[in-house]
Amino acid sequence: MPVGQQRIEGVYAVTQPGPGLEDSVSAVLRGGVRIVQYRDKSADTERRRREAEALQRLCASHGALLIVNDDVELAASVAADGVHLGRDDGGVAAARSRLGPGAWIGVSCYADLDRARRLAAEGADYVAFGSCFPSPTKPESALAPLELLHQGREATGRPTVAIGGINGGNIGDVAAAGADAAAVVSALFSADDPQSAAQRLVAEWRRNR
C-alpha cells in the first residue's frame, strides 16, 4: 500500500455529476471528509478533465485524497492519488504500471470474497464491498452482508470500504461492522447543506468506530 499518505479511513465521498460540483466537494472537505472519489460516466472528456483537475487542487489543499472512478488515464493526467476499478475497468497490474507504486488502487468486490482475495493478491490497495443497503445510485445492485467488511480485511490484509445506501441512519452500523471507510454519495451530495451533512456523518462514524 502507498506509504506516507492519507489512509483509506472514515467517510469516503463519491461525487454525483451536476452543477456546483466544486462547491459541494469544498463543502464536504470543510465538513471533515478526507477522501473524495470523482465519479462521472459521461463522454465529455474535456469537462471531466477540468473537473478532476479542480478537485485535485481542492483535495490537496485539505490534505485529502482524490481517487478517480474507472478512468486510469484521467487519474494519471491530473496526478490524482489513485483510481477505483470496477468489474469492467481493466486490471490492477495495468493500473499500477500506469500510475506507479505511490498510487492507491481500489477495487469493487460486490459481495464476492474470492474476488477480493484475488485482486488483493494482484496488488489492489483496498477492497470495496456493496451494496450494503438499498442504493438510489445503483438500485439494481445485489446486497452485500455487513459481515463481509470484517471478513474482507481478515482475508486480504487490506482496508475495506463499504458502499451502497449509506447515510446518517446506518453509517454507525457500517463502522461497528469493521469497515475502514464508508463510501457515501446521496447523503452528502443530495443534502441541502453538504458541509453539515459531512460533519454529522464524520461524527457518527467516529462514535461507532
Q: Which of 24, 108, 131, 141 is catalytic?
A: 108
39 is catalytic: yes
**How many other CB atoms are found less than 10 A from the CB of residue 168?**
15
**Active-site residue, from 24, 26, 34, 39:** 39
Active-site residue 196, yes or no? no
Is 97 one of the annotated active-site residues of the chain? no
Type of residue at 151? Q
β-strand pairing of 10-14 with 65-69? unpaired
Q: For the chain, what is the largest distance between any 2 Cα atoms, rounded to a whole number of angstroms?
A: 41
**Burial 123-158, CB ≥16 within 10 A → b, else e:** ebbbbbbbbbbebebeeebeebebebbebbbebbeb
- Which one of 30, 49, 117, 138 is the catalytic residue? 138
DSSP class of 143: P
**Phi and psi of 173, rounded to 5°?**
-65, -40
Active site residues: 39, 108, 138
